[in-house]
Amino acid sequence: MGSPIVLGIESSCDETGAGLVRDGRLLGHVVASSMEEHARFGGVVPEIASRAHLQSLRPVVRQALDQAGLSLSDIGAVAVTTGPGLSGALQVGLAGAKGIAYALGVPLYGVHHLAGHVAADTLEHGPLPDPCMVLIVSGGHTSLLLVRDLARDPIVHLGDTLDDAAGECFDKVARVFGLPYPGGPAIDRAAREGDPRAVAFPRPLTGPRDAPYAFSFSGLKTAAARWAEGHAGRKLPVADGAASLQEAVADVLTRKAVAACAEYGVGTLVVVGGVAANSRVRSLAEERCRAAGIEMRVPPLGLCTDNGAMIAAVGDLLVRAGAAPAPLDVSIDPSAPLEYAALHPVTAGAPGMVAA
């Protein structure tokens, strides 16, 4: 008999996700997004997101089970995002996960959201090499990580964003350019008709004296806004601006990631997170990895953005590693740093992390 079937629940932002994983194999997953409800505000509204999770959680769990041909009684463990994310949104997912785990009498595992993005790749390409380099690029996070055993070992941060993440830069510049929310896909679409060399946008933190693996995109965002302001009274060449911005972001991300692989002697780069779906980030990373003799792995597009399958994947790894389940008073940590894949914050001001 194999490992138990793990139900994963994700509710950290505006996607409600449920996924089912067993022995590293994805059995089914469903995502409900409230993005359209937030679009008119130009960003995620926490209260709207929380209410949407309340409405969507039960249906997505049921649909994921139906997709996999399973019933609730087949679940042997539950994994849930406990941070980081929007406080109310996280609470909805945790409450639902606790209820299911308690009703079934199965263990519950708290999972760090970003570790979920890392684990998403295993559902397509199998176990992560030990070690591997991971570039996480999402709306709120840009990090370069050295990962060994995801379920057991601490995660080493080589560099993180000092201000705006790459996804935030896309969202904010898209608004300036008059493009819809979310900005990342809108920038990507507009860039297809533009010239990536049309605007000489800066490449932040790429100088010889800069932190080699840190990221900063606020200056790039400002440069794009100033460029747009310079066209006041004239038609803004949005396609050229989008292509040039996208090229700058992709250049910085991939340049630093490939350099880190070379310095640390790592032969595999894994690119994950919502911005990993960006066409230029993917193509430039592939080009530079190929030239450097580095294997590149990227999850399928459907697993790049937030989903329950990635949380189930971490839960499955924790179960197979013999990790301790979460305590009964496990809570959330909306600003939790990524140190371990398991994230078991507890209430009453107790220490926020229990390592696997």
Mind listing the pLDDT tens digit for each residue in 221-278?
999 999 999 998 999 999 999 999 999 999 999 999 999 999 999 999 999 999 999 9
pLDDT value of position 36: 75
For residues 190 and 198, the answer to whether their CB atoms sit within 8 Å is no
**Pairwise CA distance, residues 49 & 246, whole Å:** 28
pLDDT value, residue 348 = 60
Q: Where residue 347 falls among pLDDT bands split at 50, 70, 90?
A: confident
Residue 149, classed as helix, strand or coil, is: coil
**What is the C-alpha separation between 83 and 338, in angstroms, rounded?**
9
The total of other beta-carbon atoms located within 10 Å of residue 301's CB is: 11
Structure tokens at 205: 């933190």
pLDDT at 131 over 80: yes
- Per the rule left: phi > 0, alpha: psi between -120 and 50, beta: everything else, 82 is alpha
Give the rounded percent of residues in the chain with a pLDDT score beyond 70.
97
Q: What is the average per-residue pLDDT within 86-108?
A: 98
Q: Which of 7-16, 23-32, 40-49, 76-85 has the lowest mean pLDDT?
A: 40-49
pLDDT in tens, 194-218: 999 999 999 999 998 899 999 999 9
Instruction: Output the pLDDT for position 353.
Output: 41
Q: Is residue 52's pLDDT more than 80?
A: yes
* Tokens linked to 184: 């990342």
pLDDT at residue 228, rounded to an integer: 97
Could you give the CA distance from residue 324 to residue 92 in angstroms, rounded to a whole number?
23
Least confident of 7-16, 42-51, 104-113, 235-244: 42-51
Q: How many CA atoms lie within 13 A of 158 on its CB side?
A: 19
Helix, coil or strand: residue 268: strand
Q: Which residues contact 189 (CB under 8 A, 6 or more apart)?
A: none
Per-residue pLDDT at 105 exceeds 70: yes
Residues 294, 258 contacting (CB under 8 angstroms): yes
Q: What is the pLDDT of residues 177-194, one digit of tens each?
A: 999 989 999 999 999 999
Amino acid 186: pLDDT? 96
Looking at residue 355, its pLDDT comes to: 39
State residue 356's pLDDT score. 37
Nearest alpha-carbon partner for 187 in 271, 303, 280, 253? 280
DSSP for 274-323? GGGG-HHHHHHHHHHHHHHT-EEE---HHHHSS-HHHHHHHHHHHHHTTP
What tokens appear for 181 in the block?
Answer: 């929310």
User: Structure tokens of 269?
Assistant: 């780069």
pLDDT mean over 73-100:
98
Other beta carbons less than 10 A from residue 124's beta carbon: 13
Given a cut of 60, is residue 305 above it in pLDDT?
Answer: yes
Reference 204, options 262, 245, 239; nearest CA is: 245
The per-residue pLDDT for 354 is: 40
pLDDT for the residue numbered 350? 43
Task: Count CB-CB contacts under 10 A for residue 293.
Answer: 9
Task: Report residue 123 CA to chain centroid gap.
Answer: 15
Mean model confidence pLDDT for the chain: 94
